[in-house]
Structures are given as structure tokens and as C-alpha cells.
Amino acid sequence: MGTRRKSRELALQMLFQSDMGKQAPEEVRTTFWRGRGEVEAEVHGFAEDLFRAACDRAPDIDQLIEQHAEHWRMDRMAAVDRNILRAAVAELIGFPQTPAAVVINEALEIARKFSSPESVQFINGVLDSVRRDLEKAKV
């Protein structure tokens, strides 16, 4: 597994911990890395960057996801799915140097690992719609 994929998975786990445990980002950072063993500096750094980007812009990210997830509210989505979406949208917004196709593909691979087959299609549809909207906004 590549370092970026590992970072994305760790960021997802941090977001999930924050979401389900109703923990502040600082609390997650403190407890998440404890007992995790050695994590490469590059993996750790990018995971922290993604987590920070998702937390810093959480209201905007959630609004964007809900806007593109037809007939779905954030609280009705599976926790894993909503946090995969949050991490991917944070990367689409906060790391424009990464091609959108790469971000979406990585999110789908992570969904295949951590979620259900139906979720992969749902996540793909939402992220593709968000991507198109963000591209229109750039023009």
C-alpha cells in the first residue's frame, strides 16, 4: 500500500473517531496516535493535513456533500461513508494539485475496504457530482 493511501485511511479513522466519539480535533490527535506504533513521517504528516483540512472546513464540506447526495442527510448516511466523503472532499478542496480522478479513485478503494459494495456506488456518485461542481466554480 502506498504512503498516500495509508495516510488517507488514517485520516478516515481520525474523522470516524471524532464523529462517533464526539471528540474535538485536538482530543483525537492526542489519543489517535498513542499506541499506534511507528508511522512514517510522510504518512503521519499527510494524514494530519487531511484531518486538519476536513475539520477546519467541516460545515462547508458537509453542506457540499448534502447538496450532492440527493435525498440524503449527513446523519442518515453510514458513519464510514460520510467520513470517507468528508476526507475526499477535503482533499478535493484543500489539495488541488492532486488530480480529482486520483482522489475519487482512492476514496472508492478505501470504501471497498471499509464499507459495503452499495456504498462504493453512492460515494462515487456524490464525489463525481462534487468534482463537477468544483470544476465549474474554477471557470
3-state SS, one letter per residue, for 41-90: HHHHHHHHHHHHHHHHCHHHHHHHHHHHCCCCCHHHCCHHHHHHHHHHHH
Please state the pTM of the whole predicted model: 0.94
50 pLDDT band, cuts 50/70/90, is very high
Query: What's the mean per-residue pLDDT of the chain?
Result: 94
Query: What structural domains and CATH numbers belong to the chain?
Result: 3-138 (1.10.940.10)
| CB-CB contact of 39 with 1 (8 Å) | no
User: 38 pLDDT band (50/70/90 cuts)?
Assistant: confident
68-85 pLDDT tens trace: 998 899 999 999 999 999
How far CA 78 is from CA of 19, 20, 115, 116, 133, in Å, comes to: 11, 11, 9, 10, 23
* Nearest-angstrom CA–CA distance, 89 and 48: 15
